[in-house]
Amino acid sequence: MQKITALILTLIMTGCAFPGVYKINVQQGNVLTDEELTSLAEGMSRSQVHSLLGTPLMTNPADPSREYYVYTFQQSGGDIEEQRVIVYYENNQYSYYEAQLLEETPAY
């Protein structure tokens, strides 16, 4: 009986670590390109920026002068790649942005 239990437990444990398990690509957030960012013009309203870049992923309720656009990509369970863009406003008018873009956007 103990041998059967040990065999069943061994089969269950090897099934959990089966190397042929398919892992999907996971992407989340706003995919932004350099072309979209260069088309921003100082003085644009928030709605114009949102129509160009999309809705920001995060906003700071304590400081509404910044909006955060974040994009993450994980390929087949590997490392997570991330790009961040922070858009700054003065008096609800676009002022400038800071960006850490990926060299190649792996969106599919």
Segment 90-97 long-range contacts (CB within 8 Å, at least 24 positions apart): 90/65, 92/45, 92/46, 93/42, 93/43, 93/44, 93/45, 94/40, 94/41, 94/42, 94/43, 94/44, 94/45, 94/46, 94/48, 94/49, 95/42, 96/42, 97/37, 97/40
Per residue in 48-76, pLDDT tens?
999 999 999 888 888 889 999 999 888 87
Per residue in 30-48, pLDDT tens?
888 888 999 999 999 999 9
pTM of full prediction above 0.85:
no
